[in-house]
Structures are given as structure tokens and as C-alpha cells.
Amino acid sequence: MQKEFYGLADHVSSLLRDGERYTCVYSGEVSDFVRFNKSAIRQPGRVKQDLILLDLIHGTRHASGIISLTGDTGVDRERCGELVARLRLQIPELPEDPHLLYATEVHSSERIQETRLPAPEKAVEAILDAGRGRDLVGIYASGGIYAGFANSFGQRNWFSSYSFNFDWSFYHGGDKAVKSSYAGLEWDPAAFGAKVESAAAQLAVLAKPARRIPPGRYRVYLTPAAMNEILGTVSWSGFGLKDNRTRNSSLLKLIEKEAKLSEKVSVHENAACGVAPDFQAQGFIKSPKVTMIERGTYKDPLVSPRSAKEYGVPTNGANAGESPESLEMDGGDIPTGKALEKLGTGLYISNLWYLNYSDRPACRMTGMTRFATMWVENGVIQSPVDVMRFDETLYHIFGDKLVGLTRETELILDAYTYEARSTSSMRLPGAIIDDFTLTL
């Protein structure tokens, strides 16, 4: 679609009148989806879609619209022309936008990844083998994701990536299941086998009577999946310049140096380590790496073009919501295989869910444990633990109560598939924490 998109962009350029500018964003995918239940295929399918979002600009007024592409050049050009005409009629009725900012210097780029994905039937075969004799439920999604940008100044950008994401569980019964995921750019049978083996071992533990523990403070090991939920919550409002300047950031105490995190904690937006495009909707190229937290102290925010215009600072290519798309947290010095040994006695928490802030200014959040939460004694898993609620501040989790982080990190792709497959990701270690507060 790269050639076709550029052709449509040239066509839009030919339709412009004096004083008009435009930005145009293309998004597309060719994705295979397979749903599983009771270790059987329930719904296979393939989705191909191509969309463009056009923003027509005149001075500081602008209007935008989106259309689906048909693949027929004549039809798509006609529809683009109709969209330009509609937007042109809207612009005089709209107010001026004081924070409008778009790229005017041309920085064209092309980043095309080669696919290393297995044929869908090969992955499905491995998944069915893993589920044999068990109740496996989940969804496998894989394929190419494409993005493009064009504007009236002649800038052209193209990006493609190929990834898979298998989000799945082994179901035991009642509210008990072992949740896991396996995602990446290349299917590794050994890595998937290790995931299956670990989940099967936890499934066997779930057959034991659940242990009830009273509310209190416990030493815990949070897997990368559980860490993903915590950092995902912080990403709602923690890292952006707008939230910083309006004092809405959940990291305000860190920003204003009223609190700090452990020196073990460094968090980055690393465009090179994810599967998201390296440019954004107004045509700005993303900074290769933005360090948001460095050795426990606040460093740089994510700055969208609108915030850059409003506050008079350079943009670093952040999206409109100023939330991370390719978040990376540095690992520590605990080998993942030794994590339970390092934990000693306490809780192994595989997943968290229903997270929200209980006290945003204090970056205190609450949520529930989910699926396989285990009681561990002397580094050995003993029994499952009933679902519990936690309430804890980030300044304890990643601050004075952080024992350490695992050396290895795991790539976690967002499993969101509404409207389109998500390109957000996190690369995270696991963490051992003392005095983690469980409230009920």
C-alpha cells in the first residue's frame, strides 16, 4: 500500500487551494485471528483494512475526517476529493486553534521490517499441542501492521512491522485459571514451550485447596505481566508535559522532588524497542529514546506538538495523549530463574487487574490480584491464594520497598484489538517488593 498511499497524497496535494495545507495519516493491517476455547479452534478469520485520516488546514483553523480505502485507485481518489470538499466547507465555521502545530520541515523516512512470523497454521498447531488434555482458552493474532504519513510540504513516511500475540489461559475451574501470554516478532518454540511448562506447573498447584491469608503487608514477586498493569496505570497521566504543567500528573511528587524512587528504577520511551511507528500524526519524528525516570528521579516528559506549542518547548514526537507507546524499564540483577529463591516466603503474583488510582496525587493505586496468585515458602510454591485487593503507592512499590528487579525483561504487546490491533508495548522486568499492602 505504500505506493498507493503516496499516490493518494499527491492527489490530495493537487486539490489544494491557496493557503490550504494538509496532513494525512495512513493505518492498515493484514491480521490473522484465531480464538480458542476448551483447547479447540472456535473462530478463525482474517482482517484486512486500510484507513486514512486527513486533516485540512487553513491558517490556524482545521478540520479532519477519516475514510476507508477500497483498493480501487479511481474510487479512492474520488472519495479523497469528496472528503477534501466536505472539510473545506467546515473550516470557515470552526474557531482558530491556538495550539495547532504540525511539521513544516520535511523529514521523510522509511522503516520496513521483514516478516519472521510463522505461517498461522504452524502457530495454531503448536497451540493445540499445548492445550491437549487441558482447557486452553485464548486468542492468537498475527500479521503485518502498516503506518504512513504525508503532508502538503512533500514529507513522506512509511513504517511496517510484523508481530504476533497469543493471549491465553489454562482454566482450572471456578475463578481459578493460569493466565499467560507469548508475543514477539519471531516464534521461538523453546520460549513458547517454557511458557507452557510454567503455566502447566501452576495449573497443578491450582488443584490444591486455596489458602486464605489475612489483610496485611507481604513480601511479593510481581511478574512482568503484573508490572505491566502498574505501569499502564501510571501511563494514564504520569509522563506527559500537559499533566505535569496542570499539576494533574500522578507523578507530581516525583516531578517536584518531594519524593523519589529507588535508584534501581529507570523508565524510558524507547521507539526502537517496540512495534509502533517512529513518527506521529502531525509529522514529527519521535525521539529515539526519551528517559522519563533515571535512577529513581524524574527526568524528561513526553511532549506532544500541542503541548509544545502551548508551553513553548520542543516536541519529542509524543502522541496526542502524551502516553508511552514503547515503554521500557531497565532490568536489575536478579536472574529470573532465581526470583522465587530471592522472594523466600511470600506471594507470587502473576497478574493484576481492575487498577485505578485511590489517591492520584500520592500515586496510590488499588486493584485486584488475578488468576494464579501463589503462596511461596522458602522459594517453593505451596498453594494458591484467594483473590485479594491491594492498595499501594508507587513510592513504596518502586521506592523504599523495592528489593530488586529481574535481570531479564519481557516484551509485552498490548492485546487490544478493537477497531485495529494495538501497536503499544512494554518491555519490563519482574520485581520483588517488601511490605506490599493487601487490604481485603
Amino acid occupying residue 385:
V
pLDDT at 272: 86
Give me 298's grid cell.
524524574
Single pTM value for the model: 0.95
* 187-210 pLDDT, tens digit each: 999 999 999 999 999 999 999 999
Average model confidence (pLDDT) across the chain: 96
d(CA 428, CA 267): 9
Q: Read out DSSP for 229-282? A: HHHHHHHTTSSBHHHHHTT--TTHHHHTTS----TT--EEEEGGGSSS-SB-TT
pLDDT at 273 over 90: no
pLDDT at 143: 97
- Strand ranges in 197-237 using DSSP code E only, listed in sequence order: 216-222
pLDDT at 75: 97
pLDDT at 434 over 90: yes
At residue 175 the predicted structure's pLDDT band, cuts being 50, 70 and 90, is: confident
pLDDT at 174: 85
* In the chain, domain spans: 2-206, 216-438
Residue corresponding to grid cell 491558517: 59
Kindly state the average pLDDT of the residues 2-15: 97
- Strand ranges in 59-135 using DSSP code E only, listed in sequence order: 61-68, 109-112
pLDDT at 79: 97
What is the third-level CATH fold of 2-206?
A: PmbA/TldD fold (3.30.2290)
Residues of 234-266 as b/e, b for ≥16 C-beta within 10 angstroms? bbbbbbbbbbbeeeebbbbbbbeeebbbbebbb
